[in-house]
Every structure is written in structure tokens, then in C-alpha cells.
């Protein structure tokens, strides 16, 4: 199982990958590896992180780099165009609905618009937690990890003063995703 996060620097793309990886590897006891983009491209420009989960929890991830993601989370137009072609044909796409204009999503791909940045601003008053809102949505939409494991990862990672804020962001994302999953009223 491969999950790719992509966007631009300052959006917390790397933290998102870290939190997800930690939730899976530490709090669910599975084997997971996280990688991130390095160098000048990681500062302000394009930014990405990836999590690979081993098929067998007893074994190390054999190839720790994301090659064909099963799940793609994009928070910029550039990230969308760069990474969409790599998404598996039956893959799942989450995109920030206000930052990405999703032209031509291949058939077979399940796509979810999540206005994470807007939700972070309106519901929490902090744009900076858009990444965690996105994670909340991801948990509900893909069940790649349990909400409790993710909460625990937040609690043990972010600075104590920001734990509440980030936990709230998770809830906002989860609630939004729950709504998305409700059968659409016609």
C-alpha cells in the first residue's frame, strides 16, 4: 500500500506523511516507511512525502519509495498534474477543492474534493492545519489507519500547545468526509 502526499512547501505535506506513517508504524504496529522530498525543492517550491505500508507487518517495507500510489493526496495544481499519472488505475484521489482544478480524472479513480484549506480557515481559524484536516478526511475515506492511532500520533508529535488545535482539525476533516460518504440526496 502506497500513499503519496504532494503540494508546496509550508503546507505541512511532510508532517502529514510523518503523522500517517507514525500512526501506522507505531500505534498500529504495522511496518511502514516514510520518505520525503529533499533539497531546494523542499523549501517553498514543490514538496512531497510518501508512506509505504508493508503487506506483511512482520517484514520491513522492501522498497520504501512510492512508485505507484494507491492513494494520492494533492494540495496544489502542480502536484495534481505531476502525480496523477502515477496513481494506480483503481486508486483514490483526495484533492484540495479550492487549490486544485481537477481536469480529466481517469475512469476508475475514486476522487474526493476536500476543501481542507478553507475548512482549516473557517472552522479552526488556522490555515496551517489544512494538512491535518486532510488527514482526517483521509482516515474516513480510505480507512488506511484508525482515527485513534492518528490522534495518538498527533498527541506525541506536535508541540504540546498545538495538540488540541490539531486534534480539532482531524475531527473537522473526518466530519467533512463523513458527509461526503452520505448517500447523495437526489
Neighbouring C-alpha atoms within 13 Å toward the C-beta of 66:
29
Minimum CB separation from other proteins for residue 185, in Å? 41
Minimum CB separation from other proteins for residue 64, in Å? 6
* Phi and psi at residue 32, to the nearest 5°: -140, 145
The long-range contacts involving 160-167, CB below 8 angstroms and separated by at least 24 positions, are 165/124, 165/126, 165/129, 166/129, 166/132
Give 62 or 178: the residue with its C-beta nearer to other proteins. 62
Minimum CB separation from other proteins for residue 22, in Å? 4
Using CB under 8 A, list all residues that contact other proteins.
Answer: 15, 18, 21-22, 25-26, 31-36, 38-39, 60-65, 67, 153, 156-157, 159
Whole-Å CA distances, 160 to 29, 32, 86? 24, 25, 37
Give 62 or 90: the residue with its C-beta nearer to other proteins. 62
Minimum CB separation from other proteins for residue 62, in Å? 4
Give 161 or 185: the residue with its C-beta nearer to other proteins. 161
8 Å CB contact between 109 and 68: no
Minimum CB separation from other proteins for residue 101, in Å? 30
Give 20 or 172: the residue with its C-beta nearer to other proteins. 20
Minimum CB separation from other proteins for residue 59, in Å? 8
Q: Which three cell numbers stand for residue 146?
A: 484508525
DSSP 33-99: EEEE--SGGGTTSEEEEEEEE-SSTTS--SS-S-SS-SEEEE-SHHHHHHHGGGS-TT-EEEE-TTT
- The region, left, alpha or beta by phi > 0 then psi within -120 to 50, assigned to residue 163 is alpha
Amino acid at each position: 500500500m502506497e500513499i503519496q502526499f504532494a503540494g508546496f512547501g509550508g503546507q505541512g505535506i511532510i508532517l502529514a506523511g510523518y503523522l500517517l506513517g507514525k500512526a501506522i508504524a507505531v500505534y498500529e504496529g504495522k511496518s511502514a516507511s516514510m520518505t520525503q522530498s529533499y533539497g531546494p525543492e523542499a523549501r517553498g517550491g514543490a514538496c512531497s512525502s510518501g508512506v509505504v505500508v508493508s503487506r506483511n507487518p512482520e517484514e520491513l517495507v522492501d522498497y520504501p519509495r512510492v512508485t505507484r500510489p494507491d492513494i494520492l493526496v494533492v494540495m496544489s495544481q502542480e502536484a495534481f498534474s505531476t502525480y496523477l499519472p502515477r496513481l494506480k488505475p483503481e486508486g483514490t484521489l483526495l484533492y484540495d477543492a479550492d487549490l486544485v482544478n481537477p481536469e480529466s480524472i481517469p475512469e476508475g479513480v475514486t476522487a474526493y474534493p476536500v476543501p481542507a484549506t478553507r475548512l482549516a480557515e473557517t472552522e479552526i481559524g488556522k490555515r496551517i492545519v489544512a494538512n491535518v484536516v486532510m488527514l482526517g478526511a483521509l482516515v474516513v475515506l480510505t480507512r488506511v489507519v484508525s482515527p485513534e492511532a492518528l490522534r495518538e500520533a498527533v498527541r506525541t508529535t506536535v508541540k504540546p500547545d498545538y495538540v488540541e488545535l490539531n486534534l480539532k482539525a482531524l475531527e473537522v476533516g473526518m466530519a467533512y468526509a463523513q458527509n461526503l460518504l452520505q448517500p447523495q440526496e437526489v
